[in-house]
């Protein structure tokens, strides 16, 4: 189920009621677990089996990995876990893509091979829970944390409904200890959670779905060449849509967890206020970036094997990060562009003494220069979004051409209202990201007088109710 | 941050939201607008799931808005003793719904197809968007979506402001008169009194619409706009018309082969609208041809005095009062022609 649905509102109220019953902590955890399975099954019940399979395999393999002293057996166990997790991900997510490319390859070699197209349904959130379970088994292999004691706690770690289908991607030390002792939300956590849930739903339903998805869809599905303004508005709309959609989901997830007394890691920190690309990736989908850094970039060498290998490692990490988002070459190019940006940035920084400090902190750099840098990063990130959202390279190229050449004969596809809406929201978003880049929404909300915060909160809720876009699924569900 | 500060903010927000929604609901109701359901894919899917009732317990209706305005569902159900399952969609071709039912081997019931010639022969994607979207939604509908629909149904039955087509943010903003960019055209804005939608998916004109010729003229103007737009398009090539006929024939054959019963109906239209339709779509080439290739019975309103005497307020659809008379007369004709039997029917009209 999705957060922006009546089903979720009812589910959440029932869960809050049951979770706060005066019963044992174990019973409350069982309620949470069953609720989490219901949350997942409400989308497509049979896929719950995959979730169980993944949970059970990784619980037992993880424990065996931790206790196994024989190196060969230990490696074999790790391979079993990797094959189990990545095999499932590959089949469901990349099966069609791999077959399509294999067919293209053999046909190019002169073989006439045309198999039937596989009709594979992608289980919601498989990329997220696979990464969650993978990090557990890898941690067990490296003995970086202790095995989870009970299957109940491990199942809850994997399945806890706020993070299950679209993150934040949690690590065992971030969540498992929270299941070990009885939890109940403090009043502050409850109010903060409700505020974050309202804010997340507002971002998703009002900003992403009501105002930005329409212009983005229109522009990215246009067949004809577009006018420059329309092309830019469509891409900017998508840059806002994907942020509000995904950050909205994460905000809801963190808020829902807080209402039950749990803390989930931050996933977005005003990314469009970033003054560099490494800064951007410390702010955008933080838990994935950190996962890729810790479980891919560093293990393949990171920056420990000289500059050339560092650049290669960066590119490998970003290419695979791109592929994680979707089984299409356009995602690979999106990742490659980010890898390229990061490499260039690193190269430039390497030429400056003590330049490493400049990126993440604006202190010492004038605000104006910092803002110009942020705008430049935002501009280049928008170029990458073209590949991320376009269905194929022809469409992407057509759109880029429209963005960077003056085509007075291009088609106009966006209405005046859409152009105004996108302009207002995107300018507001960028200014907000810049201004808020070193703080958090809760810290800012805490500084407001109650009446003003109440007014803002009311406006969010009223717009949410009036938007009446109740069932659109989140973009990141498909990843 | 202190919890008291947030608690106070939460109280302020709750009071403001409740105050605003009360004000908004009362304001809309003061304009004498009643409840109307959101007629999207969710509601359509709710009824699509009911087509499996045995043939002597239900009739399924597909087509476009004329079926939704002209057929009074309550009258149909009262007279026939059967469920009326309305699957028509405004401004859409009946072909996708027919194809969907034909390829559902479990559907073996009675099917009435509204023939609005321009929409039967259309190839414009615009005329397929709603029905294709609804069919796709039905096939992929999740348990969570079904539950949300049931909650929404309760809320929609109580609050007028939840009507998406007129009172959502998008609808409200779209009504702001802005100078439009060249080449951008908006869908015409139908007056709210033209169609209020019941939970059974029947469209009903309000009393104000039936009485006020100014509002009727607004809709007549919209028909003129659509006609003008259609005339700008090249006529569909004969090849595509032939393929539409072939598909209709094949789909009807499939339904009949497993015991289903199909009846075509040409609902009334009047004035210049009807004149234009008869000129653009000669009866022999469309209506008669459909009956011939499908070997299914059909009722053309112009063949029956009891159906031919209606005046459509905006040339194309019947008023709610006439819809009741029309439905009664239609049932009489179906029975007299012995096309369908209604074993559970009640005696009185």
Q: Token pair of B135, please?
A: 């069919």
- Report if residue A364 sits inside a domain: no
CATH (domain of B291):
3.40.50.1110
Q: Give CA–CA dist B186/B178, Å, rounded.
A: 12
CB atoms B169 and A210 under 8 Å = yes
* Contact list, B3 vs chain A (CB under 8 Å): 186-188, 190-191
- Report if residue A429 sits inside a domain: no
Range of the domain at A150: 21-183
Tell me the pLDDT tens digit for each residue of A30-73: 999 999 999 998 888 888 888 888 898 889 988 888 888 888 88
Identify any residues that bridge with B85 across adjacent strands, giving them in sequence order.
B60
Chain centroid, CA B20 distance in Å: 33
Tell whether B3 and B80 lie within a shared domain: no
- Report if residue B345 sits inside a domain: no
- Report if residue B186 sits inside a domain: no
- Report if residue B346 sits inside a domain: no
Residues 16-35 of B with CB under 8 A from A: 16-17, 20-21
Chain centroid, CA B256 distance in Å: 24
Q: One of A163, A325, A338, A433 is an active-site residue; which one?
A: A325
Q: Are A128 and A167 in contact (CB under 8 A)?
A: yes
Q: Are B267 and B66 in contact (CB under 8 A)?
A: yes
Tell whether B52 and B119 lie within a shared domain: yes
- Report if residue A454 sits inside a domain: no
Q: Give B339→chain A minimum CA distance, Å.
A: 42
Nearest CB among A10, A42, A461 relative to B151 is that of A10
Q: Give CA–CA dist B173/B167, Å, rounded.
A: 10
Q: Give A157→chain B minimum CA distance, Å.
A: 23
Secondary structure (H, E, C), chain B:
CCHHHHHHHHHHHHHHHHHHHHHHHHHHHCCCCCCCCCCCHHHHHHHHCCCCCCCCCEEEEECCHHHHHHCCHHHHHHHHCCEEEECCCCCCCCHHHHHHHHCCCCCCCEEEEECCHHHHCCCCCHHHHHHHHHHHHHHHCCHHHHHHHHHHHHHHCCCHHHCHHHHCHHHHHHCCCCCCCCCCCCCCCCCHHHCEECCCCCEECCHHHHHCHHHHHHHHHHHHHHHHHHHHCCCCCHHHHHHHHHHHHHHHHHHHHCCCEEEEEECCCCHHHHHHHHHHCCCCCCHHHHHHHHCCCEEEHHHCHHHHCCCCCCCCCCCHHHHHHHHHHHHHHHHHCCCCCCCCCCCCC
Tell me the pLDDT tens digit for each residue of B95-108: 999 999 999 999 99
- Listed in sequence order, the residues at least 6 apart from A74 whose beta carbon sits closer than 8 Å to its beta carbon are A65, A68, A141
Tell whether B248 and B285 lie within a shared domain: yes
Tell me the pLDDT tens digit for each residue of B10-37: 999 999 999 999 999 999 999 888 899 9
Q: Mean pLDDT over residues B311-325, rounded?
A: 95
- Report if residue A43 sits inside a domain: yes
- Report if residue A255 sits inside a domain: no
Residue B69 pLDDT greater than 90, yes or no: yes
Residue A127 pLDDT greater than 90, yes or no: no
Q: Give B242→chain A minimum CA distance, Å.
A: 28
Tell whether B320 and B201 lie within a shared domain: yes
Residue A307 pLDDT greater than 80, yes or no: yes
Torsions phi, psi of A264, nearest 5? -105, 150
Q: Strand, helix or coil at A411? A: strand
Total number of domains in chain A = 1
Tell whether B21 and B169 lie within a shared domain: no
- Report if residue B341 sits inside a domain: no
Chain centroid, CA A79 distance in Å: 26
Tell me the pLDDT tens digit for each residue of B147-169: 999 998 999 999 999 988 899 99
Tell whether B53 and B21 lie within a shared domain: no
Range of the domain at B14: 1-30
* Contact list, A36 vs chain B (CB under 8 Å): none
Total number of domains in chain B = 2
A91 and B CB contact within 8 Å:
no
Tell whether B288 and B153 lie within a shared domain: yes
Q: Give CA–CA dist A289/A309, Å, rounded.
A: 19
- Listed in sequence order, the residues at least 6 apart from A153 whose beta carbon sits closer than 8 Å to its beta carbon are A29, A176, A179, A180
Tell whether B73 and B222 lie within a shared domain: yes
In this predicted structure, what is the pLDDT of residue B257? 93
* Contact list, A164 vs chain B (CB under 8 Å): none
Tell me the pLDDT tens digit for each residue of B116-143: 998 998 888 888 989 999 999 999 888 9
- Report if residue A317 sits inside a domain: no
Residue A471 pLDDT greater than 80, yes or no: no
Tell whether B111 and B11 lie within a shared domain: no
CB atoms B6 and A195 under 8 Å = yes
Whether A325 is catalytic is yes
Residue B65 pLDDT greater than 80, yes or no: yes
Tell whether B138 and B244 lie within a shared domain: yes
- pLDDT grade, residue A121 (50/70/90)? low
Tell whether B13 and B80 lie within a shared domain: no
B10 and A CB contact within 8 Å:
yes
- Burial label for A145, CB within 10 Å (0-12, 13-18, 19+), is middle
Query: Tokens 């300018």 label which residue?
Result: A427
- pLDDT grade, residue A469 (50/70/90)? low
Q: Give CA–CA dist B67/B54, Å, rounded.
A: 22
């Amino acid at each position: 189920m999705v957060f922006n649905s009546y089903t979720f509102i009812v589910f959440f109220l029932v869960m809050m009621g049951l979770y706060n019953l005066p019963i044992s902590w174990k019973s409350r955890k069982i309620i949470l677990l069953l609720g989490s399975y219901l949350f997942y099954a409400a989308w497509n019940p049979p896929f719950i089996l995959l979730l169980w399979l993944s949970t059970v395999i990784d619980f037992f393999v993880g424990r065996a990995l931790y206790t196994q002293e024989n190196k060969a057996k230990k490696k074999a166990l790790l391979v079993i876990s990797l094959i189990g997790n990545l095999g499932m991900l590959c089949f469901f997510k990349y099966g069609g893509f791999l077959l399509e490319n294999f067919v293209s390859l053999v046909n190019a070699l002169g073989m006439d091979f045309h198999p039937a197209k596989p009709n594979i349904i992608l289980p919601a959130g498989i990329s997220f829970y696979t990464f969650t379970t993978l990090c557990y088994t890898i941690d067990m292999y490296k003995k970086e944390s202790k095995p989870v004691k009970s299957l109940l706690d491990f199942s809850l770690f994997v399945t806890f409904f706020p993070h299950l289908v679209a993150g934040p991607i949690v690590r065992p030390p971030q969540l498992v200890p929270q299941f070990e002792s009885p939890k109940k939300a403090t009043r502050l956590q409850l109010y903060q959670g409700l505020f974050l849930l309202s804010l997340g739903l507002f971002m998703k339903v009002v900003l992403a779905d009501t105002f930005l998805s329409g212009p983005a869809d229109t522009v990215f599905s246009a067949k004809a060449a577009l006018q420059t303004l329309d092309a830019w508005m469509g891409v900017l709309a998508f840059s806002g849509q994907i942020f509000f959609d995904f950050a909205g989901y994460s905000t809801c997830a963190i808020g829902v967890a807080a209402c039950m007394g749990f803390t989930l890691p931050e996933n977005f920190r005003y990314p469009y206020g970033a003054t560099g690309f490494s800064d951007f990736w410390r702010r955008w989908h933080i838990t994935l970036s950190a996962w890729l850094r810790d479980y891919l970039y560093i293990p393949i060498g990171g920056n420990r094997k000289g500059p050339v290998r560092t650049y290669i490692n960066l590119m490998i990490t970003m290419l695979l990060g791109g592929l994680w988002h979707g089984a299409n070459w356009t995602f690979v190019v999106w990742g490659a562009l980010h890898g390229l940006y990061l490499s260039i940035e690193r190269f430039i920084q390497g030429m400056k003494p003590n330049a490493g400090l400049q990126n993440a902190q604006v202190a010492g750099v004038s605000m104006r220069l910092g803002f110009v840098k942020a705008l430049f990063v935002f501009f280049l990130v928008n170029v990458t979004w073209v590949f991320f959202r376009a269905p194929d390279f022809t469409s992407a190229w057509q759109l880029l051409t429209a963005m960077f050449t003056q085509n007075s004969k291009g088609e106009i596809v966006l209405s005046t209202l859409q152009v105004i809406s996108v302009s207002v929201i995107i300018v507001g978003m960028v200014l907000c990201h810049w201004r808020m880049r070193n703080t958090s929404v809760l810290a800012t909300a805490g500084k407001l007088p109650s009446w003003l915060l109440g007014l803002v909160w009311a406006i969010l809720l009223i717009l949410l109710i009036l938007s009446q876009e109740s069932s659109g699924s989140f973009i990141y569900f498909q990843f | 941050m202190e919890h008291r500060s947030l608690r106070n903010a939460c109280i302020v927000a709750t009071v403001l939201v409740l105050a605003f929604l009360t004000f908004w609901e009362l304001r809309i109701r003061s304009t004498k607008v009643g409840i109307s359901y959101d007629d999207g894919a969710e509601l359509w899917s709710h009824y699509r799931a009911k087509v499996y009732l045995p043939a002597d317990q239900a009739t399924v209706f597909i087509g476009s808005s004329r079926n939704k305005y002209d057929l009074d569902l309550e009258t149909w159900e009262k007279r026939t003793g059967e469920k009326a399952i309305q699957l028509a969609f405004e401004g859409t071709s009946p072909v996708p719904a027919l194809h969907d039912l034909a390829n559902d081997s479990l559907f073996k019931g009675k099917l009435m197809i509204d023939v609005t010639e321009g929409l039967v022969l259309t190839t414009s994607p615009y005329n397929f968007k709603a029905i294709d979207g609804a069919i796709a939604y039905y096939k992929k509908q999740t348990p969570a979506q079904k539950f949300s629909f049931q909650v929404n149904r309760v809320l929609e039955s109580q609050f007028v402001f939840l009507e998406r087509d007129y009172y959502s943010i998008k609808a409200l903003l779209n009504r702001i008169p802005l100078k439009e960019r060249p080449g951008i055209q908006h869908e015409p804005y139908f007056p709210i009194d033209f169609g209020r939608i019941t939970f059974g998916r029947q469209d009903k004109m309000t009393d104000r619409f039936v009485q006020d010729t100014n509002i009727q003229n607004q809709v007549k103007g919209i028909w003129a706009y659509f006609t003008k737009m259609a005339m700008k398009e090249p006529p569909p090539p004969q090849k595509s018309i032939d393929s539409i006929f072939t598909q209709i024939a094949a789909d009807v054959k499939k339904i009949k082969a497993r015991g289903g019963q199909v009846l075509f109906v040409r609902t009334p239209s009047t004035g210049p609208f009807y004149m234009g339709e008869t000129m653009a779509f000669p009866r022999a080439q469309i209506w008669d041809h459909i009956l011939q290739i499908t070997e299914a019975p059909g009722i053309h309103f112009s063949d029956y005095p009891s159906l031919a005497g209606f005046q459509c307020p905006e040339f194309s659809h019947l008023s709610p009062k006439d819809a009741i008379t029309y439905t009664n007369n239609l049932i009489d004709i179906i029975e007299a022609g012995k096309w369908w039997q209604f074993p559970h029917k009640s005696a009185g009209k």
